[in-house]
Amino acid sequence: MLLGLLTLAAVSVLVFTLVQMLPGDAAEAILGQNASPAAVAALRHELGLNEPLVARYLGWCNRLLHGEFGTSLANGLPVAGLMRDRLANTLFLAGFTAAFAIPLAFALALAAAAARGSALNRIGEVISLMLISCPQFLIAYLVIYWLAVQNPWFPSSSDIRPGQSLADQLYQAFLPMLTLSTVVIAYMFRMTRAAVADVLRHDHIRMAVLKGLRPWRILVVHALPNAIGPIAVVVALLLAYLVVGVVIVEVVFVYPGLGQLLVDAVGKRDVVVVQGVSMVFGTAFITLNMIADLAGLASNPRLLHPR
């Protein structure tokens, strides 16, 4: 946990430094190229851009610790309020994807592990490798072409609005969910199949086979409990990916989540929003990775010892 806090501190330094290195001037970007030098200088003073870099960083960290993300430079609204609704949409998409992809990948992995050495196992391995290797934006455009253009069953852009029913939200988010699910299913399929296949080579599994137990009973009762630890780690890492790695998918489908907000803020040179969203992404990723590490230690306490 201490290492996670130190990593988050390093992320804050990196985010702040990279945002300050963006080309152009925030005050000029807000006022436009035709603004007078006096107006630009006044806005720079108001935004604190004339202060030393270290002083600006420490002030920003102090505001973050008090839960203050600042005010958007583009529209004057609180950044926390802008992120609240977008974060809810991103979490909705991540939850929708996890609810669909993780059980499906889990079932496919168990079937492939039970049929190890068969053609089904080899086909699943090849397809999963292809899906992992394929760029996500390409999968997104193929999904749009097949299910929104040639067969107009779903909208090509996700119109998620407050007050919509759950059914409408699921319908609007189906194509982004399907795009994210391809990578999640492929990755979890390979990792879960490998974990279960490794357990199936142990001596107690051979004893169960010699006793004449049914294959599915051996798989579910004797092999699966010993593979839960690595699988839990994979699930936690996939959840981190679903929360943080949705930027490309949200941009392609114009999904109103944190990723789309981040891209819009970069285009408008709204550095306050860029910093706030980046820190939310960093915090979520570090936290979920820490949960994955703790889950791995809980499943196998021997990892606590050097030997």
Residues 88 and 136 in one domain: yes
Q: Are 241 and 235 in contact (CB under 8 A)?
A: no
Residues 60 and 118 in one domain: no
pLDDT exceeds cutoff 90 at 16: no
| Per-residue tokens: 13 | 């330094």
Number of domains in the chain: 2
Residues 116 and 210 in one domain: yes
Residues 36 and 176 in one domain: no
Chain segment 280-304, per-residue pLDDT in tens: 888 888 888 888 778 777 766 766 6
What is the Cα–Cα distance from 270 to 121, expressed in whole angstroms? 49
27 φ/ψ angles, rounded to the nearest 5 degrees = -65, -45
Q: Is residue 239 part of a domain?
A: yes
Mean pLDDT check: name the lowest of 131-140, 228-237, 261-270.
228-237
| Mean pLDDT across the chain | 82
Range of the domain at 13: 2-65
* Mean predicted confidence (pLDDT) in 82-107: 89
Residues 56 and 102 in one domain: no
Chain segment 122-159, per-residue pLDDT in tens: 888 888 888 888 888 899 999 999 998 988 899 888 88
Q: Could you tell me what percent of the chain has a pLDDT over 90?
A: 11
Q: Is residue 70 part of a domain?
A: no
Chain segment 47-72, per-residue pLDDT in tens: 666 677 788 888 888 888 888 888 78
Residues 186 and 95 in one domain: yes
What is the Cα–Cα distance from 22 to 140, expressed in whole angstroms? 29
Q: Is residue 78 part of a domain?
A: no
Of 200, 184, 254, 196, residue with least CA distance to 227: 196
Q: Is residue 79 part of a domain?
A: no
pLDDT exceeds cutoff 70 at 177: yes
* Mean predicted confidence (pLDDT) in 159-188: 89
Chain segment 196-205, per-residue pLDDT in tens: 777 777 777 7
Side chain identity at 175, as an amino acid letter? L
Q: Is residue 71 part of a domain?
A: no
Residues 56 and 90 in one domain: no
Residues 43 and 119 in one domain: no
Predicted confidence at residue 64, as pLDDT, reads 85
Q: Is residue 43 part of a domain?
A: yes
SS3 call for 240: helix
How many other CB atoms sit within 10 Å of the CB of residue 41?
Answer: 14
| Per-residue tokens: 128 | 């999963």
